[in-house]
Chain A
Amino acid sequence: MKHLNLSNSKACEPRIQEIASRCRIMLRVTAAALLLTIVCNSGFGQSPNTKTDTDKPAASLDHAPPAPSHTVSGTVRDANGDPLPGVSIYLRGTTYGTISDPEGRFQFPRKLAEGDQLTFSFVGRESVEYVIQKDTGESLSIVMNDGAEIMGEVAANDVYSTKGGFRQWLSNLKRND
């Protein structure tokens, strides 16, 4: 976390606005001076896909979104408790993600905030969404079920016939139209 100690608050205003427009801000006013505690959630070199608050006006104290403060790690397993390696774990709405290791363990590479949605997916398994709660612990235990009960139907161009079995539509019928 960066700390900026500014003695003259008026001269700082334009700079404050600029910084405020990029990061979340917590303001703490002391009796003698203005102390800005700046917490930047994702830095300044962001990709266009990153979920950020750059579109929002400088937040007031009452409406500030929760700061990303959760370091989230955990293990992904199947319904039998066996670890699942290679599971893709993404922060919804971004391209930030990671993959579970051979023991099914993962650590998310960025701090997460309350309300952030993590998706867990692996082809053949049913994807899981996990929403970071205020009291989300450091270590998650995620269970992924089988992706689908396998039914086997396909479409064919067979037409009902009393003769039994499959029977295709006779192409010479079209010529008799």
Chain B
Amino acid sequence: MRPSLFIIASIFASSVTLGQAGDFSDVDFSNADSIAGLYPMHPLNDLKILSDKLTRPLTTDVEKFRSIFKWVCTNTQSDYILFKQSHKNRSKLSGEALMKWEKEFSVRVFSVLVNEHRTICSGYAYLVKELAFHAGLKCKIVNGYGRSAHSNVGGKGFANHSWNAVQLNNKWYLSDPTWSSGMFDLQEGKFMGKFDDAYFLADPGIFARSHYPLDTSWLLMDDKPTLEDFLNGPLVYIGAFQFRLSPLFPDQFFLKITKGSKISFQFSNTDGKKLADTSLYIERLKTRDPFVTLQMGNELIYSADHTFSSKGQYAVHIVMDGAPVISYNVRVE
């Protein structure tokens, strides 16, 4: 294994969370994770029974929540048909028609969930909330806008996603079980289950770039971005959470420049560890610019420049370890 990959791999080897910066970084979740692993495909018809099994052997609230979260993520699959139907009807219908459809669809969603352990975001968030309820934890479903390559990039916004907020030691934290359970592989054409704790107790600042709640108090931020900031900011992927990245510059997704201009793309990572294998990839040009690091006080800044010499529209990706972590759209005139 290349040395750079080994360094990154060893960071993930333990069960220590990389979520909300520092609060639970000393907690070893291997006990909670192994309890979650004891009940594969446990029935869902009585969630109190499941919750007791997942949480009674654990003594701290954060471990109980971890056991619940891990169980839901590893025993639930995303359902593509429900996703497509939901997307179609939610964007097409409104008012009474939407309410009528939702009533019937809701019955179907919970039926599929209980019988097949398959669902969409609201099903995941519901399970986490209910299991937490039975464990005596304060947990809520948060509805809002989920942002990814296929949703809420520019435009007016389409509220399409559900996630959770949980109170631990009198402080609220944000979690997204749907996105932590795996993802649809569009090449394979199916759901690939793979637990990632990137969205377990996530950093609110990075979380707000891909999750914007209808009730903005659930941003858990004093300096709140607006919906417009959210819809038009740099697009982040799961890697941004895994590597604790903060895009610094540019701070907008849509960039418009004149031919021959240079753009400097910069970011830093909040845990300060040096990240190798980072490059700037321009889609249509298929060019790669390596990132260099600059020490600014005790912050390590990654920087890469590109001069756009031809007119057109380009998708620009910051790539780390072979996968994009941040994307931009550049229009050259």
User: Which A residues are closer than 8 A to B by beta carbons?
Assistant: 88, 90, 92, 95, 97, 119, 121, 123-124, 127, 129, 146-162, 166-169, 171, 173-174, 177
- If A154-B120, A158-B148, A168-B187 touch, whether A121 touches B106 (CB-CB below 8 Å) is no
Q: Does B204 contact A (CB under 8 A)?
A: no
Assess the B48–A151 pair: CB atoms within 8 A: no
- Tell me the smallest distance from the CB of A144 to a CB of chain B, in Å: 12
Task: Point out which of A90, A124, A156 has the most chain B C-beta atoms below 10 A from its C-beta.
Answer: A156
Q: Which residues of B contact A154 (CB under 8 A)?
A: 78-80, 83, 120-121, 178, 183-184, 191
Residues of B within 8 Å of A169, CB to CB, are 323-324
Tell which of B110, B130, B148 touches A127, judged by Cβ atoms closer than 8 Å: B130
Neighbouring A residues of B283 by C-beta, 8 Å: 161-162
Q: Are B86 and A160 in contact (CB under 8 A)?
A: no
Q: Which residues of the other chain, B, contact A171 by a CB distance below 8 angstroms?
A: 187
- Tell me, in angstroms, the Cα distance from A156 to B186 when the chains sit together: 7
* Distance in Å: Cβ of B332 to nearest Cβ of chain A: 12
Q: Name 25 interchain pairs, CB-CB below 8 A, sorted by A.
A: A121-B46, A121-B47, A121-B130, A121-B134, A123-B110, A147-B106, A148-B162, A150-B86, A151-B86, A152-B85, A152-B121, A152-B160, A153-B162, A153-B178, A154-B184, A156-B183, A157-B186, A158-B186, A159-B149, A159-B315, A160-B149, A160-B324, A162-B315, A166-B186, A171-B187
CA of A123 to CA of B281, assembled, Å: 46
A/B pair count, beta carbons within 8 Å: 155
A123 and B45 form a contact (CB under 8 A): yes
B107 in contact with A166 (CB, 8 Å) = no
Chain B interface category by residue count: 35 or more
In Å, the complex CA distance between A162 and B315 comes to 6
Q: Select A162's contact among B113, B238, B277, B284, beta carbons within 8 Å.
A: B284
Contacts of A119 in B (CB 8 A): 48, 133-134
> At the interface, is chain B mostly helix, strand, loop or mixed?
mixed
Nearest neighbor of A156 in chain B, beta-carbon distance? B184
Is there a chain A Cβ closer than 8 Å to B143's Cβ? yes
Q: Is the CB of A88 within 8 A of B48?
A: yes
Taking Cβ atoms with an 8 Å cutoff, the residues of B that contact A are 44-48, 52, 78-80, 82-83, 85-87, 90, 102, 105-107, 109-110, 113-114, 120-123, 125-126, 130, 133-134, 136, 141, 143, 146, 148-151, 153, 159-162, 178-179, 181-187, 191, 235, 237-238, 277, 281, 283-284, 313-315, 317, 322-324, 327, 329
Min CB distance A15 to B, Å, is 35
- Do residues B110 and A147 form an inter-chain contact, with CB atoms below 8 A? yes
Query: CA separation between A9 and B154, bound complex, in Å?
Result: 83
A119 CB to closest chain B CB (Å) equals 7
A164 CB → nearest B CB, Å: 11
B45 near A162 with CB under 8 A, answer no
Q: Which residues of B contact A90 (CB under 8 A)?
A: 48
B109 close to A150 (CB less than 8 A): yes
CA A174 to CA B85, docked complex, whole Å:
33
With A121-B130, A121-B134 already in contact, 7 other A-B pairs whose C-beta atoms are closer than 8 Å: A123-B113, A127-B130, A148-B122, A150-B109, A151-B122, A152-B120, A169-B324
Q: A124-B106, A154-B120, A160-B329 are in contact. Are A149 and B324 (CB under 8 A)?
A: no
Instruction: Say which residue of B46, B162, B284 sits within 8 Å of A151 (CB atoms).
Output: B162
Cβ contact within 8 Å between B186 and A127: no
